[in-house]
Amino acid sequence: MPEDLSIYGGWPACGEIDIMELLGQEPNKVYGTIHYGNPHTYHGGSYTLPDGKKFSDDFHVFALEWEPGEIRWYVDSVLYYKTNDWFSRSSNEAFDYTYPAPFDREFYLILNVAIGGNWPGYPPEEANYFPQRMEVDYVKVYKRVGATYNEKVSKPAVDTSYPADARPPLSDGNLIYNGSFDVDDPNVEGIEGVPYTDYWQFLHLPDFGGDGTVENINNSIKINITKAGSQTYSVQLVQRPICLIKGKTYKLSFRAKSDGQRTIEVKFSSGGGDNGTTWIDYAVKTFNLDTEWKEYSYIFTMQSDTYSKARLEFNVGLSTLPVYLDDVMLVEYNLQDPNSIKEPLPNGNLIYNGTFDQGNDRFVAWEFVKSAVADATYQIGTKPEDRYFKTVITNGGSNLSDIRLVQSNIKIEANSNYLLVFRAKAFESSRLIKVYISDQNYTPISEVKAVTLGTDWADYRLNIKVNETLPTDLRAKLVFELGGTNVNVGIDNVSLKQVLPSSFISIQAEDFGTINNAQKQGEYVTFGQGGSAMFNVNIPRSGEYVVSYKVRTQQNSILKFSVGAVVYDAQVTPTNGQWSIVTDSVYLEAGNQQMQIMADNLDLDYIEISPNLIENGDFSNGLNKWDNWIGNGGSGSVTVANGQLKASITNLGLAFWSIQIIQGPMALESGKVYRVSFDAKSNSPRDIFIKIDDSTYYGHHERYVPLTTEMKNYTFDFVMDATRSDIRLVLGLGTMSPNGKNPLETAHTVTIDNIRIAEVSENCGYFERNVTEELTGGTTSEPQQFIGDKLLPEGSFDSPDSLSNWKWWSSAGNNVITSIENGELKVSVRSLGNDPWDPQIYREGITLVNGKNYKISFKARASVARKINIAIGKPLTSDPWFIEYMPKKTIDITTDMVEYAVYFAMNNETDTNAKLAIEIGKVDGFSTVPFDVYFDDIQIEVIDSIPQEPTQPVTHTQKVGDEIILDGTFDTGVGEWVYWSGDQWSGVSDMRVTVENGKMKIHLNSVGQQPYSAQVARKNLTLEQGLTYELKFKMYATKNTKIQVNIGKELTSDPWFIPYAPTTQFDITTQEIEYRMTFKVTNNTDIVKVVFEFGPIGGFFPPCPLDIYLDDVSLKVISDQ
């Protein structure tokens, strides 16, 4: 793997070389593979040992030879695969990174032994493959002696000729037939019943809930959508066959509108390929439509193998707003055509190859222009750190214009503002350069900016205003003038983006009208004690706004903001001399508003007021406007209490998205900076995953945020990379593995409040600060506790500080010593008093809330077996000294460390200073001294209910050996077995279930989006608490696939199912195999069902069409212990 994953945009574009991979079920075979590209592409080879030998029988030498233009794989000096065919490209760039990217920089080695994963699959829950080991004799890395390589190797040429079976382009080069919807040839098929739709198909897929009709209106298509469906492709307008040739670049253009604001997805794909099962996406882009006809376009390069039967899809599901289309055109496109205007890149950048790392020479799209009097050239390095443009000047001429770095044919609009960003330095000494936008004759059509470069790299941001009128035949250029001196210049990371109208209002502190007890310091204002400032702002419309303050604060700083009679207290904390961002939410009425800042002892740079794009971010209206989803192994609940969102989590699930809090859609614009801010805490410290995604689940910004047990505000900024109106904010609360931190406690509660997203002027980074919780809708003085809250953070005794809250008492006063030994609390007792509580250890200051249930748990052992008492109650300063909140519990402690648990209900008034006492005196007459008692993991946890202890031994009606499923052989048909093919929430599956030759046959044409969207089940089965069962079945399929089995109680409402056994996945092959799973029932005796699920599992989609055969299903009692 590469040392720096981010250079080419993360995996897989960063590249991965698998030198050797071996699967446990194929002990005689190894694989060598490379992964690369965007979209993800991989290829490789394999080597099989002869004569049935296994690689575990003896040592073997695995080797990789890696040269700039070729990679070769060997086993025992036998070459078994080589390749020179790869690429890497960012979705926001026009060209491939310079070959041999991504395999052109330092990688690091990994040796590991792994279990599970999509390849080769996940083992059964009860499988035990350990111990396992991989023995490595040596790892050696050589560099060939005396070899020299040309690091500017060229990518192998690709055959770009049209296949014989390809449909040719039309006379104007258009690969789309009847793109204007005006052809009606009786010999050509179109959409049935719709004139002038030859060559087009209309697909509405009931499997995904889509439906609609098409009509031709004045030679344009209108797609009426009656059911939006669950996917973008629930409703489609399609044309095929279209020939796309590997290595060629294409431009798609079309006109479109709707009756409101909505998005559509436009895709080129293999459409199932020749066999109907090969689905490859060649290019995908989402467009935002409104009520006006507009021309849309995008450019893409065919990176996959040439395919003559590709298809174009207009995917218009997920909304019932109609879509109008016309003038669809697909033509070959030359990105370097001197007569072509460059279309903006997907992120809005007008500059191609601004990072000088693309094309054959890393200089593609640029021009180096010098006058006759100048003598200069340029260079671009090959190592990642040297990939920037650098002049090599011998004679710079007499004018700046004698040497120019130019990019031509950029798309510029009159009377518009642009933001030019670049990184630059001067090498020998400081010097001046100029930069501007010109016409084709180098006549400026914008402001000319003069920039003085220092000798250190620096980032420059220039606002450039373009003239109000422009020539009609304009071919605009971005021009850097670098002549007039022999001092060399380095330039990198060039970006030019149009500045769209902003939604925020920025008030610079130096522009405040009236200030008191404050001093203007140039670009900021210093407020002393009792400082204030007045200013007026015209608010465009009434609503909730986000106020952002850029401040520098100290220990005694105060910041308040008032509008009229309403005062908002912005909570600030010391920033240690650094500038920081503080946000708050305010409600503002439309019109001119007089505002006031009241501040003590802080510096203020500016205030920005921006509409909050999040609705009900303070949860004052419950969960209105919010969605939550729990699944994929996650479990818990999401509620609102006292104006805060509470996610009570009992299982993290398999991915970050196993538990999600979601709001959307919202509209964000490319190139703009947005600020995300929220307050959060977790009673077990953990990370959460923040994702800004769209309806295709593509992440435009992602980050882990670390939560603590204290409420903090988290604020971070990001630059949006695309203009979209289907953006969602997703807070992922599932598992953070492998890159984030999971909580130590599985059952825990995450609290979230005051969520905001707003446009701002600059990207200030990431900030966090402690804040006071804002509790609403209840008595704020009443302590708030939630299921899963743990009340004793120091009970694990991991550090000396853990002893600070634990005390001891005895009448003797000197007979007890407490210490921490090996992470345990050690209590050494030399003598005893006359009572059980003499001596005792205790912990005070515990909050117990009336009506709550609690679990006291701890681990303990003693140097000699003895009894102890557990007491919890209210400490008093006089007789009776202590009021019990539960009857004392006597525990037998042995010499082995054992975990104990005690449960009680708090039926007294809420107490914020309750005392937990562990009595280690004369309990039940115990008097042996001296002795040592060891404690660990002492905890009090808030629980839902108190477990009921059985009053009599459990009796079972089922016996060991009893068969529970009596119709699992299918000899007489399906019996009581049923099947379910999904719904609009899970996705609909196309499946049929029959019995064939004494086996159940499950035929799948397609599946939904969840594992359970295609299933067969045996219901009405009784499982008894305390018994252990074994499920056995035989299964095979026509193609290798995955299934999973769930056993549990069916419910008629959310959560729909209570599991009685762990979800277990199985890899199904084309050979009939008997599979087994064993589980013990800990739930109450009840009626359950056994479910076999055939839908997508962990990203693996079954290779439909597919037949799966099930037989000999048995569920037996195997133990009553």
Cα–Cα distance for residue pair 78/63, rounded to 1 Å: 9
* Same-domain status, 456 and 482: yes
| The pair of three-digit structure tokens given for residue 643, joined into one six-digit string | 């104006």
* Same-domain status, 149 and 1: yes
794 within domain boundaries: no
CATH code of the domain containing 652: 2.60.120.260
Query: What's residue 778's pLDDT?
Result: 43
Range of the domain at 580: 505-611
| Neighbour tally for 1041: CB within 10 Å | 24
737 within domain boundaries: yes
| Neighbour tally for 944: CB within 10 Å | 11
Report the length, in residues, of the chain: 1121
| The pair of three-digit structure tokens given for residue 937, joined into one six-digit string | 């993991």
Q: What is the 3-state secondary structure (H, E, C) of 236-288?
A: EEEEEEEEECCCCEEEEEEEEEECCCEEEEEEEECCECCCCCECCEEEEEEEE
Ramachandran assignment for 510, one of left (phi > 0), alpha (psi -120 to 50 degrees), beta (any other): alpha
Query: What's residue 779's pLDDT?
Result: 39
* Same-domain status, 315 and 434: no
List CB contacts of 279: < 8 A, sequence separation 6 or more.
269, 270, 271, 272, 273
Query: What's residue 780's pLDDT?
Result: 38
Q: What is the biggest distance separating any 2 CA atoms in the chain, rounded to whole angstroms?
A: 108
Contact status, residue 610 vs residue 619, Cβ threshold 8 Å = no
Cα–Cα distance for residue pair 638/628, rounded to 1 Å: 7
Ramachandran assignment for 632, one of left (phi > 0), alpha (psi -120 to 50 degrees), beta (any other): left
What is the CA 637 to chain-centroid distance, rounded? 21
* Same-domain status, 812 and 933: yes
Contact status, residue 311 vs residue 242, Cβ threshold 8 Å = yes
Could you say which DSSP state residue 148 is in? -
User: Would you call 768 a catalytic residue per the annotation?
Assistant: no
958 within domain boundaries: no
Query: What's residue 12's pLDDT?
Result: 83
Catalytic residue among 3, 16, 65, 996: 16
Cα–Cα distance for residue pair 75/84, rounded to 1 Å: 19
* Same-domain status, 1036 and 1073: yes
963 within domain boundaries: no
Closest CA to 1099 of 632, 631, 735: 632
Cα–Cα distance for residue pair 539/546, rounded to 1 Å: 12
Beta bridge partner(s), residue 480: 405, 435
* Same-domain status, 424 and 543: no
727 within domain boundaries: yes
Closest CA to 15 of 119, 95, 101: 101
Contact status, residue 834 vs residue 800, Cβ threshold 8 Å = no
Instruction: State the residue for tokens 């969960």.
Output: 623
Contact status, residue 854 vs residue 943, Cβ threshold 8 Å = yes
* Residue that is last in its domain, among 892, 923, 943: 943
| Average pLDDT along the chain, 1121 residues, taken 10 residues at a time | 80 91 92 87 92 93 94 96 90 88 91 80 73 91 83 82 92 96 93 95 84 94 91 92 94 95 90 83 87 91 91 93 96 86 86 94 95 96 92 96 96 90 95 96 95 94 89 91 97 89 83 89 90 90 90 91 88 90 89 90 93 93 88 83 88 88 89 92 94 85 94 93 86 89 88 94 89 64 75 81 82 85 91 89 88 92 93 80 86 93 86 90 88 94 81 74 92 88 80 91 89 91 91 94 91 71 90 92 86 88 92 93 79
Closest CA to 303 of 525, 487, 38, 74: 38
* Residue that is last in its domain, among 943, 967, 995: 943
CA atoms in the 13 A half-sphere facing the CB of 461: 7
Cα–Cα distance for residue pair 229/211, rounded to 1 Å: 7
Query: What's residue 321's pLDDT?
Result: 93
* Same-domain status, 470 and 487: yes
Catalytic residue among 3, 21, 762, 996: 21
* Same-domain status, 605 and 677: no
* Same-domain status, 529 and 666: no
| The pair of three-digit structure tokens given for residue 789, joined into one six-digit string | 């809250």
* Same-domain status, 560 and 459: no
CATH code of the domain containing 49: 2.60.120.200
Cα–Cα distance for residue pair 35/11, rounded to 1 Å: 9
Contact status, residue 194 vs residue 343, Cβ threshold 8 Å = no
* Same-domain status, 651 and 759: yes
* Residue that is last in its domain, among 283, 315, 332: 332
Beta bridge partner(s), residue 1018: 977, 1090
Number of domains observed in the structure of the chain:
7
* Same-domain status, 139 and 205: no
User: Would you call 589 a catalytic residue per the annotation?
Assistant: no
Cα–Cα distance for residue pair 184/190, rounded to 1 Å: 8
657 within domain boundaries: yes
396 within domain boundaries: yes
Positive/negative CA dihedral, 404, 405, 409, 414: negative
530 within domain boundaries: yes
